[in-house]
Structure 1
Amino acid sequence: MKTVSLYIIVLVSFLFTSILTSAHAFQKNKDKFVVVLDAGHGGHDSGNLGNGHKEKDIALNIVLEVGKELGKNKDIKVIYTREKDVFVTLRGRAKIANDADADLFVSVHCNAHHSQASGTETFVLGVANTKRNMEIAKKENEVIFLEADYEKHYEGFDPNSPESLITLSFLQEEYTENSIKLARMVEDNFEKELNRKSRGLKQASLWVLHNTYMPSVLIEVGFLTNNSEGKFLNTKAGQSKMASGIKKAILGYKGFVEQNVGDNIYQIKVDDKDIVLADEPQIIENVVFKVQIAASSKEIAPKSYNFKGLSDVSRDKVGEIYKYFYGYTSDYTKIKQFQAEALSKGYKDCFVVAYKDGKKIDVSEALKSSSN
């Protein structure tokens, strides 16, 4: 019970800090699309040294190249967390992004493993679902221990504690969808445009992502411990190639959030196997189900003509993102029928969400409560 109370206190403290930071964020740059580029590690924190290569130098070179290319676009303002070999705290990196009221935070790192593992990975904030993702989170977060007075600045956060890692995931949920969008663009570019091996999009509870209040990703551009991949990443040509993939993804994401929406509204993917229909009513008391059909930075009137004829559409604003829902019922069977109808209208990636007492909960939790 003592442990639970401790993490409630930590969570409340985090939320209070979030409110203060958001309230004081600078607005002067909002005529431009602000991108904060973060080169991982630096100074006395070298990062990993796979095959004798230095992660801190490779990450910096890639970030500077990305920034140089993005800077050619007059509508983009680039801000770096570091432009040379210096150590910047994780909280300092997040503060730079928050103070700039950035539209994106992109952190670049290089991976390491005891095997000859290879490939790129792009992380968004979330509870780590695999042992390897948990190890990635612990490795990247342990830089906290290199900071003076880390106990004071990180308010009891322990990089090795699963409870601490889970706590982080609550705070950036409102930015997760757009973070996922950018992460997919990054990995698609690496794999399809650059012919690099992609290990895909991952979720892990990384402090530097948690404490930024905008869509954020952490990119692992490859494994320095892999003989060929490490050699490639340690060359100017290799670094330029990876930078081009990241730059293209950022530009693609910028176009996505600024485009006129409608049929092009971003939709989150789910497996078709999740769509199961039943005949008998399944009423869950005190729970409301809806089908999320889209999310966008643009505000759209919830009218049927904007949503392919669907008439029972509602809209909620979460942070800077508008979420659009179809249906409203406590009957789980009925909401699956709503989902099937949305699918038939072309919303192939729609999914069911659940709310209890006005707060979003996992659908599995809602269904579990009905069986108890």
Structure 2
Amino acid sequence: MKKRRLISFFLFLLLALTLQAANKRFTLVIDAGHGGKDHGAPGAISEEKNLTLKYALAFGRLVEAKCPDVEVIYTRTTDTYLTLHERAEIANRNNADLFISIHINALDGIHTARGFQSYTLGRGETTGDKGLKMNADVAKRENSVIFLESNYKTVYANLNGNAPELDIMGEIIADQNRERSVYLSRLMQQEVCKATGRQNGGSHQNNLAVLRLTKMPAILLELGFISTPDEENYMNTEDGHTKYPMGFYNAFIRYKEKYDNSIDVPYRVGAEGRRTPPAEPIRAPEPEAKPAEKKEQAAPRQKAATTRKEAPAAPPKAANEDRPVFKIQILVSNGVLKAGDRQFKGLTGCDFYEEGNYKKYTYGASNDYNEIYRLRKQILDKFPEAFIIAFKNGKKMNVNEGIREFKKNRQAGR
């Protein structure tokens, strides 16, 4: 009975925290691993604590410059020692929406390994014997900083990954956040490896203390192996300093567009209260092909074009404006786009409405919400940020009110 009351209380607390989070700016906490007396893994020309700070600050400044609706909080901005508990507490105290901890991997002895990895909270049962051993090594190394803390036995009493009973609230929060953490971890693997060209070391799970103590979606990044000379060298280059943060940022933007429901996606409110275009992923410029290469590259591009998936046909325009008309908002522009513009990505029959100084383009229109819902699913590969809006008598209305009216009309047989 007592345990049941505790679970009910924690569920109520979780709901209250969720409702509170919906009314504030998106808060990102960036944690530069190690610091101060905790040097982290040593390399031949650098130390982990310095590299993690360098990359944490570069990532944070990129977000601050391009996402005015995001509050960035750093666990440290200088060579300062923080306990794992203090790092997590910074995120918890600020009701963070996301926690990202940056680290550098290492192997002892003469062993060599390469690859960018990301970790979420878990036990790694599905990674196989080799992966499980690798995960155990990472957990042991990253959690070892605990023993620098004088009261570690009290603070980290529940961190035994083999214990049959784990902290109740930690389990509830972990269940709520695990899906989002894993999603971001996979995005990081895609975007960072694409930006840097580094080997994909995979997305993993383990019982890492700094993740276990946070109460929001959280991941730990291992940028590469400081014990492997070519990986350490790259992490100390200007190219690495530019492209790692680019990859972090692109993954973060994709994550935020999916999960940040505090304002209408994909449009953002600027510092002066104006609607501004969404933050776009950053891509490195493509190297210009040499004259001899251009001819060879033309054929593959042409072949790819012939196998491209046909764009779904837009449904007929809804005739009854007296009822809610549902549309899919796909993009925003400062001016009018011509039919066939490449920004439509092959979609035809797109329309727009004006709001503020922008032309907001839509795809499809129907009194049947379910029809538009299905149509949106068909174009998510082209416009993953697309969302449904509603109009009535030519005026934009609250989409939830539109859905309620649609259901009411359907039940009445109208």
TM range (shorter): 0.5 to 0.7
Structure 1 residues 198 and 26 mapped into 2: Cα distance closer, same or farther (>3 Å)? same
Instruction: Tell me how far 1:23 sits from its aligned partner.
Output: 7.0
Instruction: Tell me how far 1:230 sits from its aligned partner.
Output: 0.6
Structure 2 counterpart of 1:228, which letter?
D
Which residue pairs with 1:332 in the alignment?
A: none
2:162 match: secondary structure: helix
Instruction: Tell me how far 1:116 sits from its aligned partner.
Output: 1.5
Alignment of 1:39 with 2:23, yes or no, is: no
Which residue pairs with 1:94 in the alignment?
A: 88
Q: Which residue, 71, 76, 79 being the options, matches 2:73?
A: 79
Where in structure 2 are the equivalents of 1:222-233 lying within 5 Å?
222-233=224-235
The range that moved more, 19-28 or 99-108, is 19-28
Q: For 1:20 and 1:104, locate their aligned partners in 2 and report how far apart those are by CA, in whole Å.
A: 18
Structure 1 residues 174 and 193 mapped into 2: Cα distance closer, same or farther (>3 Å)? same
The range that moved more, 163-172 or 101-110, is 163-172
Structure 2 unmatched ranges of 5 or more:
126-131, 266-368, 376-414
Where in structure 2 are the equivalents of 1:204-223 lying within 5 Å?
204-223=206-225
Where in structure 2 are the equivalents of 1:157-172 lying within 5 Å?
157=158, 161-164=160-163, 167=166, 170-171=171-172, 172=174
Q: Which residue, 41, 54, 64 being the options, matches 1:48?
A: 41
Instruction: Tell me how far 1:16 sits from its aligned partner.
Output: 9.0
Which residue pairs with 2:245 in the alignment?
A: 243
Q: For 1:117 and 1:102, locate their aligned partners in 2 and report how far apart those are by CA, in whole Å.
A: 33
Which residue pairs with 1:200 in the alignment?
A: 202
Which residue pairs with 2:180 in the alignment?
A: 178
Structure 1 counterpart of 2:240, which letter?
G
Where in structure 2 are the equivalents of 1:136-175 lying within 5 Å?
136-154=138-156, 156-157=157-158, 161-164=160-163, 167=166, 170-171=171-172, 172-175=174-177
Q: For 1:110 and 1:63, locate their aligned partners in 2 and report how far apart those are by CA, in whole Å.
A: 12
Which residue pairs with 1:119 in the alignment?
A: 115
Q: For 2:8 and 2:116, locate their aligned partners in 1 and report how far apart those are by CA, in whole Å.
A: 32
CA contact (8 A) 1:110 1:222 kept: yes
Structure 1 counterpart of 2:235, which letter?
L
CA contact (8 A) 1:36 1:78 kept: yes
1:71 match: secondary structure: helix
1:122 match: secondary structure: strand
Structure 1 residues 18 and 208 mapped into 2: Cα distance closer, same or farther (>3 Å)? farther
Q: For 2:149 and 2:8, locate their aligned partners in 1 and report how far apart those are by CA, in whole Å.
A: 22
Q: For 2:105 and 2:64, locate their aligned partners in 1 and report how far apart those are by CA, in whole Å.
A: 27
CA contact (8 A) 1:165 1:205 kept: no
Structure 2 counterpart of 1:209, which letter?
L
Q: For 1:95 and 1:178, locate their aligned partners in 2 and report how far apart those are by CA, in whole Å.
A: 20
Structure 1 residues 307 and 23 mapped into 2: Cα distance closer, same or farther (>3 Å)? closer
CA contact (8 A) 2:64 2:72 kept: yes
Give CA-to-partner distance per residue, 1:199-257, whole Å, 9 cap, x none: 11101111111111111100000000111011111234312321111111111111111
Q: Which residue, 103, 114, 117 being the options, matches 1:109?
A: 103
Structure 1 residues 306 and 201 mapped into 2: Cα distance closer, same or farther (>3 Å)? farther
The range that moved more, 187-196 or 61-70, is 187-196
Q: How large is the RMSD of aligned CA atoms in angstroms?
A: 3.3
CA contact (8 A) 1:165 1:206 kept: no
Q: For 1:140 and 1:103, locate their aligned partners in 2 and report how far apart those are by CA, in whole Å.
A: 23
Where in structure 2 are the equivalents of 1:20-39 lying within 5 Å?
30-39=23-32
Q: For 1:228 and 1:106, locate their aligned partners in 2 and report how far apart those are by CA, in whole Å.
A: 25
2:28 match: secondary structure: strand
Which residue pairs with 1:294 in the alignment?
A: none
TM-score normalized by the length of structure 2 = 0.55
Structure 1 residues 195 and 146 mapped into 2: Cα distance closer, same or farther (>3 Å)? same
Q: Specify the structure having the higher radius of gyration (Cα).
A: 2
1:106 match: secondary structure: strand
2:138 match: secondary structure: helix
1:97 match: secondary structure: helix
Which residue pairs with 1:134 in the alignment?
A: 136
Q: For 2:71 and 2:214, locate their aligned partners in 1 and report how far apart those are by CA, in whole Å.
A: 17
Instruction: Tell me how far 1:173 sits from its aligned partner.
Output: 1.9
Which residue pairs with 1:350 in the alignment?
A: none
Instruction: Tell me how far 1:22 sits from its aligned partner.
Output: 9.2
TM-score normalized by the length of structure 1 = 0.61
Alignment of 1:68 with 2:69, yes or no, is: no
Structure 1 unmatched ranges of 5 or more:
1-8, 262-302, 310-372
Instruction: Tell me how far 1:162 sits from its aligned partner.
Output: 4.0
Give CA-to-partner distance per residue, 1:20-69, whole Å, 9 cap, x none: 89978995994321100000000000000022420000000000001101
Structure 1 residues 157 and 219 mapped into 2: Cα distance closer, same or farther (>3 Å)? same
Structure 1 counterpart of 2:46, which letter?
H
